[in-house]
A = this chain, B = another copy of it.
Amino acid sequence: MDPKLGRMTLKEWVAIESDSVQPVPRFRQELFRMMAVAADTLQRLGARVTSVDMGSQQLPDGQSLPIPPVILAELGNDPTKGTVCFYGHLDVQPADQGDGWLTDPYVLTEVDGKLYGRGATDNKGPVLAWINAVSAFRALEQDLPVNIKFIIEGMEEAGSVALEELVEKEKNRFFSGVDYIVISDNLWISQRKPAITYGTRGNSYFTVEVKCRDQDFHSGTFGGILHEPMADLVALLGSLVDSSGHILVPGIYDEVAPLTEEEINTYKAIHLDLEEYRNSSRVEKFLFDTKEEILMHLWRYPSLSIHGIEGAFDEPGAKTVIPGQVTGKFSIRLVPHMNVSVVEKQVTRHLEDVFSKRNSSNKMVVSMTLGLHPWIANVNDTQYLAAKRAIRTVFGTEPDMIRDGSTIPIAKMFQEIVHKSVVLIPLGAVDDGEHSQNEKINRWNYIEGTKLFAAFFLEMAQLH
């Protein structure tokens, strides 16, 4: 395979402004074009391609926009081989050169071995690396070591609209022969050392509304005689987490998986330059001083963040208002083996308890508006061992075994619906800047990533 060819395709794909976040017809047209181009690429590779019509999407403003098709593709169906399904997405975050891009975000531009462009690392580059790996076997006229399936969507950045319904529907059809699912939609934790991701945190998002009346009050006319909703809300939010980051909701740590010696060793093995991490994050001081504690509190312990308040005075200036009704928002990142509905009960009970002690005449309503389960895989699954061996072959090193502190709902979704082993094999370096200005993928990562996927196919073949 000529790696230059792969880079040419990446340039073409990056040039398509497949922004799924801004719901305007122009970008939707680009998304449809993107999916058609990808379907064509897969067809030329010899795959059997279905572009599934996803219907349309009703926006809050009443507008209706078509959803780009999801590509389901199959390459080989030799029953003696394993079948690996690759998930990827070809939509991108918005990008505007005026926002601080040094180059046109939709013109792939190489500077010092870095390929700058929107979608270069998230997720067009990794999708193409997988395709390149397949086409390498084709170019060498070799049989594919495994059967390959693709599920490629165009709405990931907009919340994977309607994807779950499709996966549910295809569970016993497209996914029936699938043995393993590979996702390559996150980043390494390092600039140079590859990684395998085996878990993500979940998230339960809460709102707590405190209401005196619909209308606001004037603080001159009513200040001093009211149970002010903001005072209640600030007390409620202040009861959730202490200054060391410890969550104060009773029972919340009960189901957190116990820490094993083996697990501690995985954190020790990871290279993380704390000083550099702190500097690049522009944070003066973290809550913890050691690499192990930092990683554990990002990955294997829950965290609680207060996001803000709706209904209070949030603008510049000095308004003397007593808000009549306010809604606080916070969320808890969940880890194995915390249970979303148990957490919902614990948080609700805790807030009701704190509120009742205030003897406030206001009304409080607690709601969990989002509940996403944490996901964790068995790192001793055969495909994890295969991925490790492939990394050793291509990079000559052990991978960092990492988790992601964020939630990657598709990983959990595939695991729950398809019931197969899911692995995240990122290709991009920690500084790739997905979602940011000047997103890039290193030339090296893109080429070595392609090799890694090819090596992974060969390793997977050994399993059968």
Give the interface of A toward B (CB within 8 A). Answer: 201, 203, 205, 212-213, 215, 218-228, 230-232, 234-235, 237-238, 241, 243, 245, 281-288, 294, 297-298, 301-310, 312-316, 318-323, 329, 331, 333, 357-362, 369-370, 404-407
Task: With both chains docked as a complex, state the minimum distance between the C-beta of A99 and any C-beta of chain B, in angstroms.
Answer: 13
Is the pair A221, B405 in contact by a Cβ cutoff of 8 Å?
yes
Q: Are A320 and B308 closer than 8 Å at their CB atoms?
A: no
Q: A213-B283, A245-B224, A361-B285 are in contact. Are A310 and B305 (CB under 8 A)?
A: no
Q: Whose C-beta in chain B lies nearest to the C-beta of A316?
A: B310
A322, closest chain B residue (CB): B305
Please list 16 pairs of residues, one from A and one from B, whose beta carbons are closer than 8 Å in the complex, sorted by A's number.
A213-B283, A218-B406, A220-B333, A220-B407, A221-B405, A223-B333, A223-B405, A225-B245, A230-B307, A234-B238, A235-B243, A307-B321, A308-B319, A308-B321, A308-B323, A309-B312
Determine the chain B residues whose CB is within 8 A of the CB of A203 once the complex forms: 219-220, 320
**Structural contact, B301 and A224, CB atoms closer than 8 A:** yes
Among all A-B residue pairs, the 6 with the closest Cβ atoms: A220-B406, A308-B312, A308-B313, A224-B303, A285-B361, A223-B303
Q: Which residues of B contact A361 (CB under 8 A)?
A: 283-285
**Which of B225, B238, B298, B305 contacts A297 (CB under 8 A)?**
B225
- Bound CA span A224–B305, Å: 8
Contact yes or no, A314 B310, CB < 8 A: yes
CA distance A245 to B205 in the complex (A): 30
Whether the pair A370, B404 counts as a contact (CB closer than 8 A) is no
In the bound complex, CA of A1 to CA of B399 (Å): 97
CB-nearest residue of chain B to A309: B309
Asked whether B405 lies within 8 Å of A230 as measured between CB atoms, the reply is no
Q: Is the CB of B243 within 8 A of A305?
A: no
Known: A313-B308, A361-B284, A361-B285. A243 touches B223 (CB 8 A): no
List of B residues within 8 angstroms of A307 by Cβ? 219, 230, 312-313, 319-323
Q: How far is the CA of A138 from the CA of B128 in the complex (A)?
A: 94
6 additional A-B residue pairs with CB within 8 Å, beyond A225-B288, A314-B314: A223-B303, A223-B305, A230-B306, A234-B234, A234-B306, A307-B321
Contact call A281/B243, Cβ cutoff below 8 A: no
CA of A223 to CA of B305, assembled, Å = 6
Distance, CA A215 to CA B316, complexed state (A):
18
Residues of B within 8 A of A329 (CB): 313, 318-319
A117 to chain B, nearest CB (A): 22
Nearest chain B CB to A318 CB, angstrom units: 5
- CA–CA, A77 and B125, complex, Å: 89
Which chain B residues lie closer than 8 Å to A370 at the CB level? 318
Q: How far is the CA of A304 from the CA of B312 in the complex (A)?
A: 15
Chain B contacts of A369 at CB under 8 A? 318
Complexed CA–CA distance, A42 and B88 (Å): 79
Assuming A225-B297, A323-B308, is B360 touching A243 (CB within 8 A)? Answer: yes
Query: Chain B residues near A205 (CB, 8 Å)?
Result: 318, 320
In the complex, chain B residues whose CB is within 8 Å of the CB of A404 = 220
**Min distance, Cβ A243 to any Cβ of chain B, angstroms:** 4
Contact of A227 among B226, B285, B301, B310 (CB under 8 A): B285
Q: How far is the CA of A284 from the CA of B214 in the complex (A)?
A: 12
A238: B residues at CB distance < 8 A: 234-235, 237-238
**A321-B308 Cα distance, complex, nearest whole Å:** 9
Chain B residues near A223: list those with CB within 8 A.
298, 303-305, 333, 405
* Cβ of A335 to closest chain B Cβ, rounded Å: 10
The complex places the Cα of A188 from the Cα of B126 at a distance, in Å, of 73
Contact A219 B314 (CB under 8 A): no
Determine the distance from Cα of A463 to Cα of B96 in the docked complex, in whole angstroms: 75
Bound: A232/B308 CA distance, A: 13
Q: How far is the CB of A430 from chain B (nearest CB, A)?
A: 11
Residues of B within 8 A of A212 (CB): 283-284
Bound form: Cα–Cα A218–B405 in Å: 10
Bound form: Cα–Cα A201–B241 in Å? 36
* CB atoms of A243 and B227 under 8 A apart: yes
CB contacts (< 8 Å) of A322 on chain B: these are 305, 307
Shortest C-beta distance, A139 to chain B (Å), equals 38
Q: Which B-chain residue is minimally distant from A318 (CB atoms)? A: B205
Q: Which residues of B contact A406 (CB under 8 A)?
A: 218, 220-221
